[in-house]
Amino acid sequence: MEHVPAPLTDGEDGDDRLSGHSGDDTLSGSAGNDWLNGSGGHDRLNGDAGRDTLLGGGGNDTLDGSTDDDFLVGNAGNDVILAGHGNDRASGGSGDDSILGDDGLDTLDGGSGDDLLAGGDGSDRLNSRTGDDTLLGGDGEDSLFGGGGSDLLLGGDNNDFLTGQGGADTLAGGLGNDNFGSGSGSDVINEAFSDDAFESLLEDLDALL
């Protein structure tokens, strides 16, 4: 196992532990099951192959899990988290985060800010937590849970489950035969909203990549 603290670091083929500093670091895990910690600064963490753990730290970070089943946490700051391929678990932490799944069975947690969560191609679970969040299910059979804020939940192209939980939420199932749960807030189910909302969100997601 290799443990390297450095502002610009590439791992080896083994299981690496790479740590950043207080500045803006770029850490790349390469092959192996790696552990990457950006620490302070605005960091970019690339997991690459293997089952990786990526921890963002205090800045506005970009985390890219790439292949395999990864665990990603943005922590503080306004982070962009790209789960990548595999069955991933990603959490934004505090801050206004953008969390994107891919083709696996992903679990995405927004955290405490006003977050954007997009599931991708697999059958995903999206959890808003607190904040006024936007949840987009995607192509699979997704489960969307609103949380404590006033959230927008858009199911996607398949048979989805959506529930607002607390807050004044807007729920739109999209295509497919969708089920809606009853939350404790004042929720609105608006199927006519879906097409325009999906198109606008896809444009926002393209700008992130």
Segment 108-131, tens digit of pLDDT? 999 999 999 999 999 999 999 999
Q: Are 62 and 13 in a shared domain?
A: yes
Answer yes or no: is pLDDT of 199 > 80: no
Token match 């990786």: residue? 52
Whether residue 69 contacts residue 54, with contact meaning beta carbons closer than 8 Å, is answered with: no
Same-domain status, 111 and 192: yes
| Per-residue pLDDT reduced to its tens digit, 8-25 | 677 777 899 999 989 999
Q: Quick one: which of 155, 109, 148, 108 has its CA closest to 132?
A: 148
Specify the pLDDT at position 166: 85
With respect to residue 199, please indicate whether it lies within any of the assigned structural domains.
Answer: yes
Q: Is residue 190 part of a domain?
A: yes
Q: What is the pLDDT of residues 40-51, one digit of tens each?
A: 999 999 999 999
Any domain includes 87:
no
Question: Is residue 24 assigned to a domain?
Answer: yes
Specify the pairing of strand 188-189 against strand 170-172: parallel
Q: What is the pLDDT of residue 13?
A: 78
| φ/ψ of residue 29, rounded to 5 | -80, -30
6, 109: one domain: no
pTM confidence score: 0.89
Closest CA to 136 of 172, 85, 176, 112: 172
Are 60 and 109 contained in the same domain? no
Higher-scoring residue by pLDDT: 7, 86: 86
Which backbone phi and psi does 98 adopt, to 5 degrees? -120, 120
Is position 153 within any domain? Answer: yes
Q: Are residues 60 and 122 in the same domain?
A: no
Residue 109's domain comprises 78-82+94-209
Mean pLDDT, the chain, rounded, equals 88
Which residue has better confidence, 175 or 85? 85
Decide: helix, strand or coil at residue 167: coil
- Residue 65 shares a structural domain with residue 102: no
- Number of structural domains in the chain: 2
Using the 8-state DSSP alphabet, how is residue 164 labeled?
A: -
pLDDT band at 30 (very low <50, low <70, confident <90, very high): confident
CA quadruple 167, 131, 122, 35: dihedral sign: negative
Is residue 124 located within the same domain as residue 166? yes
The verdict on residue 56 lying in a domain is yes
Is 89 domain-assigned?
no
